[in-house]
Chains A and B, each alone.
Chain A
Amino acid sequence: MIPGEINKQHPIPITSGRVKARRIIFFGSVLLTNAVAVFWLADLFWTEGNHRAHVPLLIIFAILNGLLVLGSYHAFFGAIEMSIRKRHAVSIMRLAGEGTANLSSRYAVVMPVYNEDSGKFCARIEAIYRSIKATGHLGSFDFFLLSDTRDLDLWIIEETAWTNLCRRLDGFGKIYYRRRRTNDNRKAGNIGDFVRKWGGRYEGMLVLDADSLMDGRDIVRMARVMEAHPKLGILQTPPKLIRGTSVFTRLQQFSMSIYGPLFIRGLNYWQLSGGSYWGHNAMIRVQPFSDFCELPALPGREPFGGRILSHDFVEAALMVSQGWEVWLGWDIEGTYEEAPPTLIDHLKRDRRWCQGNLQHLWLIFARKLPLTVRIHLFMGIMAYLGGPIWFLFLAFGTWLAWDYSHSNLTPLPFDGFVERWFGIGPTEQGLILMTAVAVLLFAPKILAVVRAVLVPEVRRSFGGILAILKSALIETFFSILFAPVMMLAHTFMVLSIMSGKAVGWGNQNREADGTAWTDALRFHAAPTLVGIAWTVLALEINTSFAIWMSPILAGLVLSVPVSVWTSRTKYGIALMEDKVLLTPEEFAPPEILHLALHAEDAVHVALDAESAQRRGVIAAIVDPYVNGVHLSLLDKEHAEMNSVEEALAIRCLKEGPDSLSTEETGRLLYLLPAMLMAHRGVWLGNEDEIHEVWKTAIESYRIRSLS
Chain B
Amino acid sequence: MGVPYKSLETLRELGEVELQEWEEAYATVEAYLCSLRVRNRLLLAELVRRILWNASARRAIEPEKSARVLAIEETLREIGDWTQEVLGEELENRRLAARGRLALLLAGMPDKWQGVFLMPAPWPEAFVDAMRKSYIAAGPSFAELTMVPRPLELNVLGSGAAQWWETMDRRPIVRKMSAAVGLSVIAGLVWFIFFS
Interface, chain A (partner B; CB < 8 A): 52-53, 56, 142, 144, 163, 166-167, 172-173, 176-178, 192, 195-201, 286-287, 290, 292-301, 304-305, 318, 362-368, 605-607, 622-625, 627-629, 631-633, 673, 676, 679-680, 683-684, 686, 698-699, 701-702, 704-705
Q: When the two chains form their complex, are residues B145 and A166 in contact, meaning their CB atoms are under 8 A apart?
A: no
- From residue B71, how far is it (CB to closest CB) to chain A in Å? 10
Provide the residues of chain B in CB contact with A622, threshold 8 Å.
35
B60 at the interface (CB under 8 A from A): no
Q: When the two chains form their complex, are residues B151 and A296 in contact, meaning their CB atoms are under 8 A apart?
A: yes
Q: Which B residues between 158 and 192 are near A, CB-CB below 8 angstroms?
A: 158-159, 161-163, 165-166, 168-169
B61 at the interface (CB under 8 A from A): no
A12–B181 alpha-carbon span in the complex (Å): 53
Q: Which residue of B lies closest to A292 (CB)?
A: B150
Q: When the two chains form their complex, are residues B143 and A624 in contact, meaning their CB atoms are under 8 A apart?
A: no
21 A-B interface contacts by CB (under 8 A): A52-B193, A142-B140, A172-B137, A173-B140, A177-B138, A178-B139, A196-B144, A197-B143, A198-B139, A198-B144, A296-B150, A296-B151, A296-B152, A299-B161, A625-B104, A629-B102, A631-B98, A632-B135, A680-B97, A698-B35, A701-B35
A173–B141 alpha-carbon span in the complex (Å): 10
Q: When the two chains form their complex, are residues A286 and B169 in contact, meaning their CB atoms are under 8 A apart?
A: no
- With A362-B158, A684-B73 known to touch, is A199 a contact of B27 (CB < 8 Å)? no
Chain B at the A interface: SS class: helix
Q: When the two chains form their complex, are residues A699 and B31 in contact, meaning their CB atoms are under 8 A apart?
A: yes
Q: When the two chains form their complex, are residues A676 and B97 in contact, meaning their CB atoms are under 8 A apart?
A: yes
Q: When the two chains form their complex, are residues B140 and A198 in contact, meaning their CB atoms are under 8 A apart?
A: yes
- From residue A257, how far is it (CB to closest CB) to chain B in Å? 37
Provide the residues of chain A in CB contact with B66, threshold 8 Å.
686
Q: A629-B136, A632-B136 are in contact. List 17 more A-B contacts (CB 8 A).
A: A163-B105, A172-B136, A198-B144, A200-B145, A293-B147, A295-B149, A299-B163, A300-B162, A300-B168, A364-B158, A365-B154, A365-B158, A367-B153, A624-B32, A624-B101, A683-B28, A699-B31
Q: When the two chains form their complex, are residues A201 and B97 in contact, meaning their CB atoms are under 8 A apart?
A: no
Q: Which residue of A lies closest to B101 (CB)?
A: A628
Q: When the two chains form their complex, are residues B30 and A702 in contact, meaning their CB atoms are under 8 A apart?
A: yes
Provide the residues of chain B in CB contact with A631, threshold 8 Å.
98, 102
Q: When the two chains form their complex, are residues A290 and B146 in contact, meaning their CB atoms are under 8 A apart?
A: yes
Q: When the two chains form their complex, are residues A200 and B94 in contact, meaning their CB atoms are under 8 A apart?
A: no
- From residue B75, how far is it (CB to closest CB) to chain A in Å? 8
B194 at the interface (CB under 8 A from A): yes
Q: Which residue of B lies closest to A194 (CB)?
A: B139
Stretch at the interface among B7-15, B36-44, B51-59, B119-127: B36-44
Q: When the two chains form their complex, are residues A606 and B31 in contact, meaning their CB atoms are under 8 A apart?
A: no
A41–B94 alpha-carbon span in the complex (Å): 81
Q: When the two chains form their complex, are residues B145 and A287 in contact, meaning their CB atoms are under 8 A apart?
A: yes
B72 at the interface (CB under 8 A from A): yes
Q: When the two chains form their complex, are residues A624 and B140 in contact, meaning their CB atoms are under 8 A apart?
A: no
Interface size for B (C-beta < 8 A) is: 64
Provide the residues of chain A in CB contact with B36, threshold 8 Å.
624-625
Q: When the two chains form their complex, are residues B102 and A366 in contact, meaning their CB atoms are under 8 A apart?
A: no
A417–B67 alpha-carbon span in the complex (Å): 104
- With A624-B36, A684-B73 known to touch, is A197 a contact of B142 (CB < 8 Å)? yes
Q: When the two chains form their complex, are residues B102 and A628 in contact, meaning their CB atoms are under 8 A apart?
A: yes
B34 at the interface (CB under 8 A from A): yes
Q: When the two chains form their complex, are residues A365 and B169 in contact, meaning their CB atoms are under 8 A apart?
A: no
B128 at the interface (CB under 8 A from A): no
- From residue A401, how far is it (CB to closest CB) to chain B in Å? 16
Q: When the two chains form their complex, are residues B94 and A676 in contact, meaning their CB atoms are under 8 A apart?
A: yes
- With A176-B139, A366-B153, A632-B102 known to touch, is A605 a contact of B37 (CB < 8 Å)? yes
Partner of B143, one of A163, A198, A705: A198
Top 10 A-B pairs ranked by shortest CB distance?
A365-B158, A200-B143, A628-B101, A299-B162, A628-B102, A294-B147, A290-B145, A701-B34, A201-B143, A199-B145
A607–B37 alpha-carbon span in the complex (Å): 9
Provide the residues of chain A in CB contact with B73, threshold 8 Å.
684
Q: Which residue of A lies closest to B143 (CB)?
A: A200
Provide the residues of chain B in CB contact with A362, threshold 8 Å.
152, 154, 158, 161-162
Provide the residues of chain B in CB contact with A192, threshold 8 Å.
147
- From residue A37, how far is it (CB to closest CB) to chain B in Å? 23
A305–B165 alpha-carbon span in the complex (Å): 9
- From residue B108, how far is it (CB to closest CB) to chain A in Å? 8
A367–B153 alpha-carbon span in the complex (Å): 6
Which of A192, A199, A295, A683 has its CB near the most chain B CB atoms (within 10 A)?
A683
Provide the residues of chain B in CB contact with A676, threshold 8 Å.
94, 97-98
A456–B105 alpha-carbon span in the complex (Å): 54
- From residue B174, how far is it (CB to closest CB) to chain A in Å? 12
A177–B108 alpha-carbon span in the complex (Å): 21
Provide the residues of chain B in CB contact with A195, threshold 8 Å.
145, 147
A290–B145 alpha-carbon span in the complex (Å): 7
Q: Which B residues between 81 and 95 are near A, CB-CB below 8 angstroms?
A: 94
Provide the residues of chain B in CB contact with A628, threshold 8 Å.
98-102, 105
B76 at the interface (CB under 8 A from A): yes
Q: When the two chains form their complex, are residues B30 and A705 in contact, meaning their CB atoms are under 8 A apart?
A: yes
Which of A142, A297, A606, A680 has its CB near the most chain B CB atoms (within 10 A)?
A606
Q: When the two chains form their complex, are residues A686 and B44 in contact, meaning their CB atoms are under 8 A apart?
A: no
- From residue A703, how far is it (CB to closest CB) to chain B in Å? 9
A458–B151 alpha-carbon span in the complex (Å): 48
Provide the residues of chain B in CB contact with A679, threshold 8 Å.
97
B16 at the interface (CB under 8 A from A): no
- From residue A407, how far is it (CB to closest CB) to chain B in Å? 15
Q: When the two chains form their complex, are residues A683 and B76 in contact, meaning their CB atoms are under 8 A apart?
A: yes
Q: When the two chains form their complex, are residues A632 and B44 in contact, meaning their CB atoms are under 8 A apart?
A: no
A85–B148 alpha-carbon span in the complex (Å): 44
Provide the residues of chain B in CB contact with A177, threshold 8 Å.
138
Partner of A197, one of B68, B111, B144, B196: B144
B69 at the interface (CB under 8 A from A): yes
A26–B88 alpha-carbon span in the complex (Å): 72
Partner of A684, one of B72, B148, B150: B72
A294–B149 alpha-carbon span in the complex (Å): 5
A300–B146 alpha-carbon span in the complex (Å): 26
B116 at the interface (CB under 8 A from A): no
- With A366-B153, A673-B94 known to touch, is A686 a contact of B69 (CB < 8 Å)? yes
A684–B67 alpha-carbon span in the complex (Å): 11
- From residue A230, how far is it (CB to closest CB) to chain B in Å? 18
